[in-house]
Amino acid sequence: MSIDLRSDTVTLPTPEMREVMARAEVGDDGYGEDPSINRLQEMSAALTGKEDALFVASGTMANLVSIMSHTRPSDSIILGEKAHSWLYESGSPCAVAGVLPIIVGQGGTFTWKDVEDSALGGNVHLAPTTLVMMENTHNAGGGVIFPQPDLEEICRNAKFWGFKTHLDGARIFNAAVATATSVAELVAPADSLSFCLSKGLGCPAGSLVCGDKEFIGRARRYRELLGGGMRQAGILAAAGIYALDHNVGRLQEDHDNARLLAEKLSGLPGLSVDLAKVHTNMVFVEVTKPGRTALDYAGRLKAKGLLVNPMGKSRFRAVTHLGIERRDILKAAEIFAAALSE
């Protein structure tokens, strides 16, 4: 069996999670009558300190309904470099929400000055900026944590200027565990947020959108517009309830395993790892051996039973997650070294 470090989306429901799914109370969520979905939404609102929450099918849907709920077509939104909504959501902000993305900052994080220098408005020829989106942790930035002082300053000044703020918190629980800070404290400055159940939390599907009741009312309508209304989806919600009760604290194991892998790889000639950017469960690796590309190296690793995700010509990503243990990391390090020596 391969050691799969491509993503934390490859996690499998544990037997215990499958058991609670099998026993889940269900109803028709179209009528608001699925007790498991209602409970998950109430838990999520309480954990994030927001008024209300909405269960949706995926992280992409969560971000899209949030954008649509905060903007109008022909508005502009500000995003960090290589933000998930810009790079990995099939162009949905443009194609569906009809907004113009403005990319700022470096490595996924940015400051209020970046926003101030790039926001549009005050002229009928411009697409007015109405939303600022941050991502925490930042996927393409290497799982880095968005600096909380910058996030707070952005949200504070955005409110003054009339911009809404949304936090793509797909992996916000990773950030919370890594900083020993509650999710509610991390997300408090933002008007809304989304978080995923199907990554480090180990669920088969689902994300939550959180915000005030008026915002969630709009998001519910856009969820329906996008075909995301579900019926007896309490089976999925039960997995989310289990994950929030049992799988948050264990994220520290993923962080420790990522750090161990990063340290092992940083000592191998032909590979380069920026240890300062290994904040959570992701390790981004540069292939520096002459004549090797990330795709070529990934193929050699796969042949030896290790899966990683190429992220460009010379860069690949390894992600630790539920199901990956310390012994898997030590074995992976051996495979990396063997593939380099060929």
Say what the pLDDT of residue 180 is: 98
pLDDT of residue 294: 92
Sequence-separated (6 or more) residues with CB below 8 Å from residue 61: 207, 223, 226, 228
Distance of CA 113 to the CA centre of its chain: 24
Q: Which residues pair with 133 in a beta bridge?
A: 166
Instruction: State the pLDDT at residue 34.
Output: 97
What pLDDT sits at residue 265? 96
Q: How is residue 131 written in tokens?
A: 């939303």
- Residue 132: what pLDDT? 98
The pLDDT of residue 172: 98
- Sheet containing 164-168, strands listed edge to edge, beginning at the edge strand earlier in sequence: 52-56, 207-211, 192-196, 164-168, 129-135, 76-80, 100-104
Q: How far is CA 317 from CA 35, 97, 143, 201, 290, in A?
A: 39, 30, 10, 19, 19
CATH code, 13-246: 3.40.640.10
**pLDDT value at position 340?**
87
DSSP state of 146: P
Which parts of the chain have pLDDT scores under 50?
A: none
Q: What is the pLDDT of residues 156-208, one digit of tens each?
A: 999 999 999 999 999 999 999 999 999 999 999 999 999 999 999 999 999 99
Peptide bond into 137 cis (omega under 30): yes
- Joined together, the tokens standing for residue 45 give 């609102």
Radius of gyration, alpha carbons of the chain: 20
Distance CA 195, CA 216 (A): 14
Do residues 254 and 321 lie in contact, with contact meaning Cβ atoms separated by under 8 Å?
yes
Res 288: pLDDT: 92
Give the start-to-end residue ranges of the domains of the chain. 13-246, 250-341
CATH number assigned to the domain with residue range 250-341, chosen from the 4 options 3.90.1150.10, 3.40.50.10330, 1.10.3720.10, 3.30.930.10: 3.90.1150.10
